[in-house]
Amino acid sequence: MPDLFSIKFAEWKERGQVVRTWSVRAARLMVGVPDYDTYVQHRQVNHPGQPIMTYEEFFVERQEARYAVSKGRFRGCC
Amino acid sequence: MSALAWNGNGITMKLLWGAIAVLGAVSLAIIALSRGEPVNAAWMVIAAVCVYFIAYRYYALFIANKVLGVNAGRATPAVRHNDGLDYVPTNKYVLYGHHFAAIAGAGPLVGPVLAAQMGYLPGTLWILAGVVIAGAVQDMTVLFLSTRRDGRSLGDMVRSEMGPIAGTIVGIGILLICVIILAVLALVVVQALRGSPWGTFTVFCTVPIALIMGVYGRYVRRGRIAEMSLIGVVLLLAALVYGQTVAQTPSLAAYFNLSGPALALVIIGYGFVASVLPVWLLLAPRDYLSTFMKIGVVTLLALAIIIVRPDLQMPALTKFVDGTGPVWAGSLFPFLFITIACGSVSGWHALIASGTTPKMIENENQIPFIGYGAMLMESFVAIMAMIAASVLHPGIYFAMNTSAGLIGTTAAQAAQVVSNMGFVVTPDQLTQVAHNVGEISILSRTGGAPTLAVGMAQILSSLFGGQALTAIWYHFAILFEALFILTTVDAGTRVLRFMIQDLVGNAIPVFKETKSWTNNIIGSAAACVLWGYILYQGVIDPYGGIWTLWPLFGTSNQMLAAIALVFCTVALFKMKRERFAWVTIVPATWLVCCTVTAGLEKAFSPDPAVGFVAHARTLSRAIAAGKVLAPAHSLGEMSRLVFNDYLDATLAALFVAVVIAMVVYAFIDIRKALGTPKATAVEVEFAGAAIGGRNA
């Protein structure tokens, strides 16, 4: 039978994981890489059977896109 | 902040908001009215935070709901075009972080430091009033308009709402602002590193460190951002600590003890090489480092200010409100309002708010939180910079920010000149500060970054490490600022290259091909020559460069803000919301007044300290008479100054022309809109249901 301590510990661990997941997502988007799981889910639901980039391909694609300059598309300064 | 949206009318809520208002008013009164006694920085923080909360609750939500008419049921571009890549419905807190990281840069850190020459009060009031009435309104409105137009860019939107000529004018404005921003930001780095082996060594080290990170993230462990960033930070800190040894070892220090012009050439060369290398190798890893460091340092500084609660040494007002200050030229109006650009209102944000953020908004009702809210945070960064500059002894502040032409090159001379200004300081105090931060000299380190670094070092070292770590903190702050300015130099040179290719490509179509190496090399070289010339001119300017160029930079940035707000006004009229158009008309009018006055004064003021043409004439007369005028050293130097004066005058006049042309177009469009009975704004049609965002 789990004691109170281990229940609390499990709760906190779960909370910690949620914070970690969202912090990682926020940090990645700050440097222009959106959430990969969301991308995979989107492809599976909306484009079933079509190819899905691996995380590595996804990363390279997003990295190029972030710094690609085109009409009216460029990145910041101040 | 989401609780703020709760339209509670209960007595508790009313009391709470009443209390915030009273607290804010009391804090503002304390910082505004106290004379003689040093004011604690905590009052400034409290005043700012209260203003932000009230502005968000009562003004941002009013604009969103009543003026713009955000519609929670309307599908955003992220929902309609969801592709998991560019268009992704994103959690609003995550997107807030993204948007803040994209708008925050060197601007809000440097401008307030320079504005402190008039005392902390005028700058602080403008930071607060400016963000509430102008800056955050601009960011939010542009974000809204772009969200309603599939995330299209500012230039694109102007073209479709106001016609191709207005669009081209905006394009020219953006090109000019890019050139000036790159030159002035690079100048800030040069002034910070000139004759500083420690700083120069650590900043140079960021290049190999970025290369290592780049290769790691591409070939060793592809896409592991956390790992590569961690490697980068560790190496960076090692370089920072080893820099002290370099500075203390004469044989090593000699390699990194560079003069201003030498540093300028190195940075121009760096800008060229960096902008032709593949992005994954240098730009991206540098960007990761600077983004994460930026967020980290801003958080650290906020915590430190709240815990340390330093006293402000700078008086609320100095005698330089009359426009005779040594840091930058010009009177309170209009020059204070262009000196602090980012932090109050920054035209550049209009480009960011019409960039990636509108493509990721889940629901229109999150627009105030992200557009207005992130700008409030940026304003808070500016307040912190103002605090960091004001905790310094004013004598030290002026010794650091006055050019060598005025205060000489020895501590004794400088102390005398600064004491004569009314800020009594001894030569010992000046050499002691230099010694504490591990520098040979802190005199005439204009540009704001070193002053901010000394202030930050003072605040942070009283939290961690004390005297022993002051030098490390100082160089950490310099490294942090140089890191993201150089990232901007790299990214900005690419932008400039693209614009040049686009422009020249109209005449020579083959030049438009951006995949061609030859084109890229020619384009990058042209871009570097453009900003590099202005940078070099600033570095060898006997007035110290910042004195001359910062007002020009501020004017260009506010010019873009004026353009953006004028465009927002036109859009409101075309949406048939003219009843509320004062929301953008008021800040637009103010900015048009400021930029036009500033531009005209910089170009044509009869006072040679302010007007470029008048200054050129004074110099020409002296040259004709064969006299050398201080601070120039030779007739050759003087004729170069004359040429640069005319160049700067032309730029200032161009800014004015761009703003006025934009206003004329706006009047024509507004008349047309008023004459049409139905809305004519070119929005994408209403479609489908939105997701998420129960509250804004």
DSSP code per residue over B488-526: HHHHHHHHHHHHHHHHHHTTSGGGG-TT-HHHHHHHHHH
Main-chain phi, psi angles of B445, to 5 degrees: -90, 70
Examine the pLDDT at B8 and tell me if it is beyond 60: no
Q: Do A22 and B93 touch (CB under 8 A)?
A: yes
Domain B2-195+258-675 sits in CATH 3.10.105.10: no
Q: CA of B285: which chain A residue's CA is closest?
A: A31
User: Measured between CA atoms, how close is B101 to chain A, in angstroms?
Assistant: 6
Question: How distant is the alpha carbon of residue B5 from its chain centre?
Answer: 30
Instruction: Enumerate residues 547 to 566 of chain B having a beta carbon within 8 A of any beta carbon in chain A.
Output: 557
How confident is the model at residue B545, as a pLDDT? 86
Percent of residues, chain B, with pLDDT higher than 70? 97
Distance of CA B130 to the CA centre of its chain: 14
Q: Do B106 and B487 touch, CB atoms closer than 8 A?
A: no
Q: What is the pLDDT of residue B461?
A: 93
Q: Which pLDDT value is given to residue A1?
A: 61
Q: What is the pLDDT of residue B692?
A: 46
Instruction: Find how far residue B177's CA is from the centre of its chain.
Output: 12
Which of B94, B185, B491 has the CB atom closest to A26's CB atom?
B94
Which residues neighbour B679 within 8 Å (Cβ) at sequence distance 6 or greater? B574, B575, B576
Contact present, B595 and B562 (Cβ < 8 Å): yes
Query: Around Cβ B6, how many Cβ atoms within 10 Å?
Result: 11
CA distances from B507 to B500, B503, B511, B520 (A): 11, 8, 9, 17
How far apart (Å, rounded) are the C-alpha atoms in residues B147 and B128? 27
Return all residues near B403 (Cβ < 8 A) that are at least 6 apart.
B326, B444, B446, B542, B543, B544, B546, B547, B631
pLDDT of B696 above 70: no
Quote ipTM for the complex: 0.92
**Cβ(B391)–Cβ(B304) below 8 Å:** no
Is residue B230 helix, strand or coil?
A: helix
Could you tell me how many helices (H) and strands (E) chain B has, helices first? 30, 2
- The rounded distance, in Å, linking the Cα atoms of B84 and B646 is 51
Reported residue count of chain B is: 696
Amino acid (1-letter code) at residue B602: K
Q: Do B82 and A26 touch (CB under 8 A)?
A: no
Whole-number Å distance between alpha carbons of B592 and B559: 7
pLDDT of B610 over the 90 cut = no
CB contact under 8 A, B84 and A39: yes
B222 has a chain A CB within 8 A of its CB? yes
Interface test with A, best of B80, B91, B175, B178 (most A CBs within 10 A): B91
**Distance to chain B for A7, nearest Cα, Å:** 29
Question: pLDDT band for position B5 (50/70/90)?
Answer: very low
B291/A contact by beta carbon, under 8 A: yes
Q: Which helix (H) or strand (E) holds B269?
A: helix B260-276
Beta-bridge partners for B664: none
Which residue, chain included where needed, has tokens 């080290």? B205
**Residue B351 CB contacts under 8 Å (≥ 6 apart), including other chains:** A74, A76, B153, B154, B174, B560
> For residue B243, which amino acid is it?
G
Q: How many CB atoms lie within 10 A of CB B38?
A: 14
Closest residue on chain B to A23 (Cα): B94
As given in the structure block, the two tokens for residue B515 are: 């995949």
Instruction: Say how far apart CA B274 and CA B207 lie, in whole Å.
Output: 10
**Which residue in chain B has the smallest CA separation from A26?**
B94
Between the CA of residue B678 and those of B406, B546, B652, B681, what are the distances in Å?
A: 61, 50, 39, 9
What's the count of helices (H) and strands (E) in chain A, helices before strands? 3, 0
- Please tell me if residue B354 touches chain A, with a CB cutoff of 8 Å: yes
Q: What is the pLDDT of residue B190?
A: 95
Residues of chain A neighbouring B181 (CB-CB closer than 8 A): 77-78
Interchain pair A75, B102: CB under 8 A? yes
Contacts of B75 (CB under 8 A, 6+ apart): B687, B688, B689, B690
The residues, ordered by sequence, that sit 6+ positions from B508 with a Cβ below 8 Å of its Cβ are none
The verdict on a CB contact (< 8 Å) between B287 and A31 is yes
* pLDDT (tens digit per residue) in B272-304: 999 999 999 999 999 999 999 999 999 999 999
Residues B23, B46: Cα–Cα separation, whole Å: 8
Measured at the CA of B399, the angle between CA B394 and CA B401, to 5 degrees, comes to 95
Calpha distance B441→B195 (Å, rounded): 8
pLDDT band at B511 (very low <50, low <70, confident <90, very high): confident
What pTM value is reported for the model? 0.94
Residues of A in contact with B93 (CB under 8 A): 22, 26
Chain B, window 499-558: residues with a beta carbon less than 8 angstroms from a chain A beta carbon: 502, 514, 557
Question: What pLDDT does B515 receive?
Answer: 82
Q: Is B106 on the interface with A (CB under 8 A)?
A: yes
pLDDT band at B129 (very low <50, low <70, confident <90, very high): very high
Q: Does B640 touch chain A (CB under 8 A)?
A: no
Q: How far is CA B435 from the centre of its chain?
A: 30
Whether cis (ω within 30° of 0) applies to the bond prior to B631 is yes
CB nearest A63 (choices: B91, B95, B284): B284
Question: Which long-range CB contacts under 8 A does A10-15 form with residues at least 24 apart?
Answer: none
Kindly tell me if the per-residue pLDDT of B50 is higher than 80. Answer: yes
Q: Which two tokens stand for residue B600?
A: 């005209």
At B631, is the pLDDT very low, low, confident or very high (cuts 50, 70, 90)? confident
pLDDT reading at B561 higher than 70:
yes
| Chain A hits for B341, Cβ within 8 Å | 78
User: Strands, E, within B304-398: which ranges?
Assistant: 311-312
Domains in chain B: boundaries:
2-195+258-675
Residue bearing tokens 């202030």: B455
Does residue A50 belong to the interface with chain B, where contact is any CB pair within 8 Å? no
pLDDT for B315-361, tens place per residue? 999 999 998 999 998 899 999 999 998 899 999 899 999 989 999 99
**Residue A73 pLDDT class (50, 70, 90 cuts):** low
pLDDT score at B695: 36
pLDDT at B653 over 60: yes
Which tens digit of pLDDT belongs to each residue from B368-415? 999 999 999 999 999 999 999 999 999 999 999 998 888 988 999 999
Ramachandran category for residue B424: left, alpha or beta (phi over 0 → left; psi -120 to 50 → alpha): beta
Beta-carbon separation of B360 and A34 below 8 A: yes
- Taking 3-state DSSP, the helix, strand and coil percentages for chain A, each rounded to the nearest 5, stand at 65, 5, 30
Residues in B 468-497 with any Cβ partner in A closer than 8 A: 488, 491-492, 494-495, 497
> How far is residue B475's CA from residue B491's CA, in Å, rounded to a whole number?
24
Nearest CA to B506 out of A65, A74, A71 is that of: A71
Contact list in B for residue A45 (CB cut-off 8 A) is none
Yes or no, beta carbons of B84 and A55 under 8 Å apart: no
B362 at interface of A, judged by CB pairs closer than 8 A: no
Q: How far is B57 from chain A (nearest CA, A)?
A: 25
Rounded to an integer, what distance in angstroms lies between the CA atom of residue B413 and that of residue B419?
A: 10
Q: Average model confidence (pLDDT) for chain B?
A: 92
* Model pLDDT, residue B6: 52
* Interface contact flag, B153 A42, Cβ < 8 Å: no
**Which of B27-36, B119-128, B197-206, B423-432 has the weakest average pLDDT?**
B27-36
pLDDT at A78: 41
Pick from A60, A73, A76: CB nearest B348: A76
Q: Using the beta-carbon criterion (under 8 Å), do B85 and A65 form an inter-chain contact? A: yes
